[in-house]
A and B are shown apart, each in its own frame.
Chain A
Amino acid sequence: MSKTAKKKPYLRALLLGALSAASYFYLFTHVNLVMEYFVKGGWYAALPILTALYFSVVHGSFASTILSIAGLQAAKGTGH
């Protein structure tokens, strides 16, 4: 292992994973309520858009953390 190897972000993965799973669980256990309001159209369009953005940030960060724990990092020499 190189000296620069960082500690693996297990806690971060755990927290983000829990938040992502809880969000999925909440949404799918309230799916009837969600589907009632999300398809109303007009200004209610903000609901599906913001939900998609929220999940992409939370679940996306979780996925990113998992990939780095799995040792999948970008090749050296890339990035700034």
Chain B
Amino acid sequence: MKKWIVLILAAIFITLAFAPAAFAESAPPADFKIGSFTAVDAASHTATFVPSETGVPTTVAIDESINPADVKLDDKAMVSFSSTDGAEAATEITPMFLGLTRDKLIALLIVGLIGGLLSGFIGSGGAFVLTPAMMSLGAPGAVAVASNMCHKFPKAMVGTYKRFRYGQVDVKLGLVLAVSSIVGVQVGFQIQKWILDSWGSAGSDLYVSFVFVIILLVVGLFVFKDAMTMSKGDVKAKTPKLALRLQKIKIPPMIHFKKADVVISVWVTLPVGFFTGLLAATIAVGGFVGVPGMVYVIGATAMVASATELLIAFVMGMWGSVQWAMAGLVDVRLVLIILATSLVGVQLGALGTTYVKDYTIKLVMGTVMVIVAVSRGVKIPVYLDHLGIVSLDKSLAGALDALSFWTLIAALLTAGGIISAAMIKGIVRARVEEKEAAAAGSA
């Protein structure tokens, strides 16, 4: 066992060393500078810019498209430069850090709590709503992605620790899948880049939504149906047929995953990790493939799979965070505000798994996947409009955007509701049983 873990850890480090762009979600953008403007000269369309990296004030030209009066002084901004006319000019200035009002603070705390609950329970989640939530509060996309990731890995670490103590994490399985998922992230990232170069950001959005809707609907409905079948009869978690068939393939090296209670060829695990990484790089929620993959392909229970997914999220998230932090994009205020409640949520979710049956985890997972798929599907006409394939009324596009965001919130609330109800029911039942046992003992 120990030999295997050392071997797998070595593989992870080697893969990471040769994979500088291996991070979940997309790569940090490269064509910008972080800094602040200290003076603006409207007449000459120039400004004094102090890059954070060097701290040396330099005079830069401001593109004609930007009104010098709109340039805010002394605030950190992400500035894109382009040198199309021979001289380099600032073409885009995005304020980096949103002003925190009381309402924004409360919104972040609530989303953090329920997101944490969800990831403690099903191994992933929260991320799909936190990034859009931060963006809708005014954070630039890159800062939202970076801050989300930097909050995700410590949360996953705490969740992994808790569920490891409950005896649910298969460390070996998590590490094996982390190695292949890093490769998946690389490939996913290259596909994204190719699509972005060929069809621009609307094309990329359309591709991402398409993958989102198809995979989440198919896998989500399957998981949901399985959970419903299991909940009707008093069926104990059975190993799925596909996993049983795959376990019969004896191509060495065979690995014994003790906690998952599975002996399977390493070659079967590779595609599961690969697609987890591919999905993580594409739609930011690798767990929506990782957990069903571990259950239906490898043959682990949903309990072990969701716990092990937290370990994968920690490894991947930590590496991703390093990359984004090196680009200087993490807003640590957002990270810490979300952590304030998500660290409570993740432990509560982890605790909740000890009171429920395997199918409850599947039920929550299937439900969230289907609602998230709908949320993304709603936005497809908007991207088709951007690509000029259909023409959409502006107010309708705005309404679809809002509908998509609120559907995500609905997914989070529904999941939070199911988890809380199942947990309360489980705790009450356990206490009643305890009392009855005590009464029987003293009688």
Binding site for B on A (CB under 8 A): 2, 24, 27-28, 31, 34-36, 38-42, 44-49, 51-53, 55-56, 59-60, 63-64, 66-67, 72-76, 78-80
The answer to whether B155 touches A67, judged by C-beta atoms less than 8 angstroms apart, is: no
Partner of B344, one of A44, A51, A63: A63
Task: Pull 18 A–B residue pairs with CB atoms less than 8 Å apart, ordered by A.
Answer: A2-B434, A31-B333, A34-B333, A38-B328, A38-B332, A39-B34, A40-B53, A40-B328, A45-B328, A51-B336, A52-B321, A55-B339, A56-B155, A56-B339, A74-B165, A74-B354, A75-B355, A78-B166
Which of A24, A59, A60 has the largest count of B CB atoms less than 10 A from its CB?
A60
The answer to whether A56 touches B76, judged by C-beta atoms less than 8 angstroms apart, is: no
A58 CB, min distance to chain B CBs, angstroms: 10
Partner of B165, one of A2, A44, A56, A80: A80
Q: Which residues of A contact B266 (CB under 8 A)?
A: none
Using known A-B contacts A45-B322, A59-B340, A80-B167, determine if residue A39 contacts B355 with beta carbons closer than 8 Å.
no
* Range, interface on chain B: 35 or more
Which of B34, B167, B328, B438 has the largest count of A CB atoms less than 10 A from its CB?
B328
Main SS class of interface, A: helix
The answer to whether B343 touches A67, judged by C-beta atoms less than 8 angstroms apart, is: no
Q: Which residues of B contact A74 (CB under 8 A)?
A: 165-166, 351, 354
A55 vs B338: C-alpha distance in the bound complex, in angstroms?
11
The answer to whether B339 touches A59, judged by C-beta atoms less than 8 angstroms apart, is: yes
B318 nearest CB neighbor, chain A only: A49
Which of B162, B332, B335 has the largest count of A CB atoms less than 10 A from its CB?
B332
Partner of A39, one of B52, B154, B339, B348: B52
The answer to whether B332 touches A52, judged by C-beta atoms less than 8 angstroms apart, is: yes
The answer to whether A44 touches B351, judged by C-beta atoms less than 8 angstroms apart, is: no
The answer to whether B328 touches A55, judged by C-beta atoms less than 8 angstroms apart, is: no
The answer to whether A73 touches B332, judged by C-beta atoms less than 8 angstroms apart, is: no
Partner of A24, one of B76, B96, B340: B340
| B443 beta carbon closer than 8 Å to chain A | no
Q: Which residues of A contact B344 (CB under 8 A)?
A: 63, 66-67
The answer to whether B165 touches A73, judged by C-beta atoms less than 8 angstroms apart, is: no
Using known A-B contacts A52-B335, A79-B167, determine if residue A39 contacts B328 with beta carbons closer than 8 Å.
yes
